[in-house]
Structure 1
Amino acid sequence: MKNMKKITFLASAITAAFTAVVALPASACTTILVGNQATTDGSYIIARNEDYQATNAKHFVFHPAEKMQKSDFHGNANNFTYPAAKDALQYTSMSDFDTHNKSMGEVGFNSAGVGMSATETIYNGAKALKADPYVTKTGIGEDAIENVILPRIHSAKEGVELLGKIIETQGAAEGFGVAFVDNTGIWYLESGSGHQWMAEKIPADKYFVSANQGRLSTYLPNNPNYMASPTLVSFAEQHGLYKAEAGKPFNFHAAYSQDTPNDVTYNYPRVWTLQHMYTQGLTTKIDQGTTFPVFLKPTRKLSVADVEQGLRNHYQGTSHDPYATQNPKETYRPISVFRTQESHVLQVRPNLPTAIGDVAYISYGMSALGVYIPYYQGMTEVPHALTIGTDKADSASANWAFRKLQTLAMTNWKVFSPIVQTAYHKFEVQTASKQRELEKHYLKIYKRQPKKAQALINEFEKTTVADALALTDQLTNTLFTKMTYTTDMTYHFEGA
């Protein structure tokens, strides 16, 4: 709510930048990464909307530590395999209902305090892929990345190194960007082709936004803030993807990524909107994505709520809002779409014990009509409703409780969305207050009474999820009541 003036200010600029309709890809995500000197509380933040299909239920999965994993990893989407892990770390994931909770993990923290978000779908350049195609049958893809990497790593940098090694040896099955975070910072890796990749550590005082397009640019070898495949530059030179210019660093985006007409309406508006929301005074044009800065300082420091607001954006207050205008063929693809499966914000606060310092805020379904619930890294018991659900509506899973309400709200956006959004905003504010109380209590006892401290976290999660579901049920009944009254008045046939 507090950024509504900023959103309104953007309205005329977005409307003026209207461009032609183009074909849209089937799936997509939006990523926001924020360094600890750019946040209000000194935390590191990585966040993303996972967009694919509204009926595809997500399960919150707790994976216990294993001395030796029971079997090798076998991909769900292709024939990628990876040896079973020794001393596999405990971790959480948000998995698709039909992967037996073993793949398509998407997001989570492990017991070493490392978080990851996998993946931002990107599209590498045609020329780069002609020289080094994706290894579609046996390479690593989105469905495998978290479940293979997260149980094995003890730092964000180690995550980059392991994923990079897999890309070099087994290949990438598709284009992707992956974010890693720990208490020392954030790393972001992008694929360049079937066997090439680059990663960069996010500057502590800046933020980064990606929307289905390779965004990393400058690569500086022998710099501790960069990592890449060993032949990244030489391969590009050998295949004519890049020509060195005196005094200029290697440009990863120019060599390995793409800028197509599709990006102008599908990707550029999302990045442009978030950058102009967080940083005042930018002069970039919405249809000129090649001019967008890779990293930016926010005008004021960002909070978890600011990032959540960014993930909820749908060009509200402008003519490009497809929900307010009831225009499903709007050419600007919004950040928040109905087919979002889950939206997440991972926060790492290095000044607190990992169990409460690392928090995953997760919203099931469409972020603009969803509620972000905090899940602490120290939780060991997952409320049952979060662990069930299929592609058929039910009356027991959290996934479908939230999705049913969102579906109802979409039938009359102008009337129903404010009801849902106001109630969920109040719930999030109240939950934040309860978090402060929990953390205060935890810090008093966790050293002397670790089991009791652990129980505090589990009880908080159980109660918070139950309260969120109760509120959602109440809101669903409220909307049904209004719809019933409207239907009655439409077909009342009252006699004289």
Structure 2
Amino acid sequence: MKKIYAIASLLLAIIVFSTTTSQACTNYLVTRGASTDGSNMITYAADSHVLYGELYFRPAADWAEGTMIDVYEWDTGKYLGKIPQVPHTYSVVGNMNEFQLAIGETTYGGRSELGTGKQEGALIDYGSLIYLTLQRAKNAREAIKVMTELVENHGYYSSGESFSISDKNEIWILEMIGKGNGEKGAVWVARMIPDGYVSGHANQARITTFPLEGKNSISSDKMDKIFNPEVTNVYAKDVISFAKEKGYYPKDGKNKEFSFSDTYAPVDFGAARFCEIRVWSFFNDVKEGMDKYFDYCKGKVEHDEKGYATNRMPLWIKPDNKINVLEVMDFMRNHLEGTELDMAKDMGAGPYGNPYRWRPLTWKVDGVTYCNERATATQQTGFSFVAQSRNWLPDAVGGINWFGVDDAASSVYFPMYCGSTRVPKSFAVGNGKMMEFTNKSAFWVFNQVTNFAYTRYNAIHPEIAKKQKALEKKYLSFTKIIDLAAEGMFKTDEAAAVEFLTDFSCNQGDNLTDEWREFYGYLFAKFMDGNIKEKDGNNQNPKMKQPGYSKEFYETIVKTTGDKLKMSGDSH
């Protein structure tokens, strides 16, 4: 049994390595009772080296009976086929719709035979599943129903996915994996995060055991009961029987001991070290005592006789203190600071403490494999957001998609109200592409600043962080005023209120891009050529410092070069 498990773990490690280098994302979930203002919040970092960061917009629309919609795979643009359109679709800004419903995801891969493209004739990939659902559902429970029915009716094209689904009252996590070839659809489990708790997922399935049929739990053949508020767990009726049929779980195994994650996506070194550690970094920031899971997150996974991991983290935790939206933004900027794996502290950080490592994720020396860390903040982020849903406001006002492009550590989240009917031009789809640079695009403007900072991180990034904080605090102050004004306008002129919110959101986004473009010029002038320059009053020449490298780095140079650079004789 252990030998079979070891082989399976090796195969799954390959899958995890492949997934985390292509489409690797991070989601954090904060329920109303865990937030300072009573809002639900989920985050999403869309991480891919080839994903162009832009803000999608799909206006509400009515459709004639019999209309079909084309489905394209989100990652590649591959045409998958047509499905029937619904009579009316809702307005969607980014990953949030007009009713404050927001959806994020992370890819965990799972068993390779159930992965992307393995189900012949499948039409729904995970990206299309998100955006189709946002156009068709008003709340999280309805979203789960729509998502699971879409893959049941049209097949599931992608590999294993974890979805964060939030509305103004609840937050759910839905984990899904396809059935492979020969059987349409997917198996899945969805669980509501208890109010007052936080959760997260980052490219590793996290739902283990779950309550079976009962007062609070239903199977998919009773989906009509999902809108009962007492129901907090829902699962595919064949999620266990399918695993037994395929040999993933013993036929005589007890159903109550069945773990979704350990069966369909077992945790191995890569899953823990590259994926679970990002969830841990969030948990560790909000609760004391999480250090007991650090060995697990470093890749020391312990297993029982079934091959199930025994030392993994809980699906959700109760934070020690309530969390505000600015803190949530900062959680997305973590590089494992303050731990022994702090990416700014080892030789790979270079002379300027750069907490980034260029790919590949793993590498070999003398036949031995080593790894770089995969932290929450990463260079390959296309876009990220903090979706905030607030149930005490009209929907168009209550939902804010705090949106940013490029690396979250150096991005700025600006407020995009979910009721907006257009998006800022500098963030709009079609304004540049991955291989088509334009200085009018927020994605390219932010990448200029970020990539310049990578060259001398400990000198340049503090300036970025200072400006980032100032802008986000300003935006938060603005939204408090905008909330009041728009809420009042809704009582007399809803259309005017929506236009007011749209103008505000678009102005903030485009003004941010303009300001960041000027900021790049300031940084470039100050830090070019390895110098640090400051204006010196009205003098022609600026004040200049040439800080060189750190003492530790100079010592490393001497250790690795010996007397090669040593000056001899009486030199001055």
Q: Please state which band the TM-score falls in when normalised by the shorter chain.
A: 0.7 to 0.9
| TM-aligned CA distance change 1:332 to 1:149, over 3 Å | same
Q: Which residue does the alignment assign to 1:113? A: 100
Q: Which residue does the alignment assign to 2:416? A: 375
Q: Which residue does the alignment assign to 1:4? A: none
Q: Which residue does the alignment assign to 1:104? A: none
Q: Which residue does the alignment assign to 1:67? A: 62
TM-score (structure 1 length as normaliser): 0.84
Q: Which residue does the alignment assign to 1:219? A: 210
Q: Which residue does the alignment assign to 1:304? A: 325
Matched-pair contact (CA < 8 Å) for 1:122–1:177: yes
Matched-pair contact (CA < 8 Å) for 2:89–2:136: yes
What secondary structure is seen at the aligned counterpart in 2 of 1:122? strand
Residue deviations 1:236-267, cap 9 Å, x none?
Answer: 23333234666944321222222122123211
Matched-pair contact (CA < 8 Å) for 1:57–1:400: no
| TM-aligned CA distance change 1:470 to 1:129, over 3 Å | closer
Residue deviations 1:25-64, cap 9 Å, x none?
Answer: 32201111111111111111111111002x6423323212
Q: Which residue does the alignment assign to 2:83? A: 83
Q: 1:337: how far off?
A: 0.4
Matched-pair contact (CA < 8 Å) for 1:56–1:390: no
Amino acid at match of 2:87: D
Q: Which residue does the alignment assign to 2:124? A: 140
| TM-aligned CA distance change 1:267 to 1:365, over 3 Å | same
Question: Does residue 164 of structure 1 match 2:143?
Answer: no
| TM-aligned CA distance change 1:452 to 1:168, over 3 Å | closer
Q: 1:404: how far off?
A: 1.3
Amino acid at match of 1:321: M
| TM-aligned CA distance change 1:369 to 1:86, over 3 Å | same
Q: Which residue does the alignment assign to 1:180? A: 165
Q: 1:286: how far off?
A: 2.0
Partner residue of 2:287 out of 269, 279, 299 = 279
Residue deviations 1:299-347, cap 9 Å, x none?
Answer: 1111222221111111234553255634626622111001100111111
Matched-pair contact (CA < 8 Å) for 1:360–1:377: yes
Partner residue of 1:390 out of 408, 426, 433 = 433
Q: 1:232: how far off?
A: 0.9
Q: 1:350: how far off?
A: 0.7
Q: Which residue does the alignment assign to 2:188? A: 197
Return the alpha-carbon distance in structure 2 between the equivalents of residues 421 and 452 of structure 1.
36
Q: Where do residues 95-134 of structure 1 align in structure 2 (5 Å cutoff)?
A: 107-109=95-97, 111-117=98-104, 119-125=105-111, 129=114, 134=118
Matched-pair contact (CA < 8 Å) for 1:136–1:174: no
Amino acid at match of 2:343: D
Q: 1:174: how far off?
A: 1.5
Partner residue of 2:40 out of 22, 41, 44 = 44
What secondary structure is seen at the aligned counterpart in 2 of 1:25? helix
Matched-pair contact (CA < 8 Å) for 1:347–1:358: yes
Partner residue of 1:257 out of 265, 270, 278 = 265
Matched-pair contact (CA < 8 Å) for 1:168–1:229: no
TM-score (structure 2 length as normaliser): 0.74
Q: Which residue does the alignment assign to 1:320? A: 342
Matched-pair contact (CA < 8 Å) for 1:61–1:93: yes
Matched-pair contact (CA < 8 Å) for 2:460–2:527: no
Matched-pair contact (CA < 8 Å) for 1:29–1:121: yes
Where does structure 1 lack aligned partners over 5 or more consecutive residues? Answer: 1-21, 95-106, 492-496
Amino acid at match of 2:468: Y
What secondary structure is seen at the aligned counterpart in 2 of 1:230? coil
Residue deviations 1:377-398, cap 9 Å, x none?
Answer: 1211322111112112211112
Residue deviations 1:444-481, cap 9 Å, x none?
Answer: 22211323322321221133123312320222011110
Is the deviation greater in 165-174 or in 468-477? 165-174
Q: Which residue does the alignment assign to 1:494? A: none
Q: Which residue does the alignment assign to 1:232? A: 239
Amino acid at match of 1:368: A
Q: Which residue does the alignment assign to 1:100? A: none
Matched-pair contact (CA < 8 Å) for 1:134–1:171: no
Return the alpha-carbon distance in structure 1 between the equivalents of residues 426 and 295 of structure 2.
43
| TM-aligned CA distance change 1:431 to 1:238, over 3 Å | same
Amino acid at match of 1:159: A
- Rg comparison, structure with higher value: 2
Where does structure 2 lack aligned partners over 5 or more consecutive residues? Answer: 1-16, 180-185, 218-230, 298-308, 359-370, 534-543, 547-572
Percent pairwise identity: 22
What secondary structure is seen at the aligned counterpart in 1 of 2:25? strand
Q: 1:269: how far off?
A: 2.0
Return the alpha-carbon distance in structure 2 between the equivalents of residues 137 and 262 of structure 1.
31
Question: Does residue 416 of structure 1 match 2:460?
Answer: yes
Amino acid at match of 1:186: I
The Cα RMSD (Å) is 2.7
Return the alpha-carbon distance in structure 1 between the equivalents of residues 93 and 493 of structure 2.
28
Q: Which has the higher contact order (CA 8 A, sep 6+)?
A: 1
What secondary structure is seen at the aligned counterpart in 2 of 1:59? coil
| TM-aligned CA distance change 1:247 to 1:148, over 3 Å | closer
Is the deviation greater in 183-192 or in 306-315? 183-192
Return the alpha-carbon distance in structure 2 between the equivalents of residues 425 and 83 of structure 1.
44
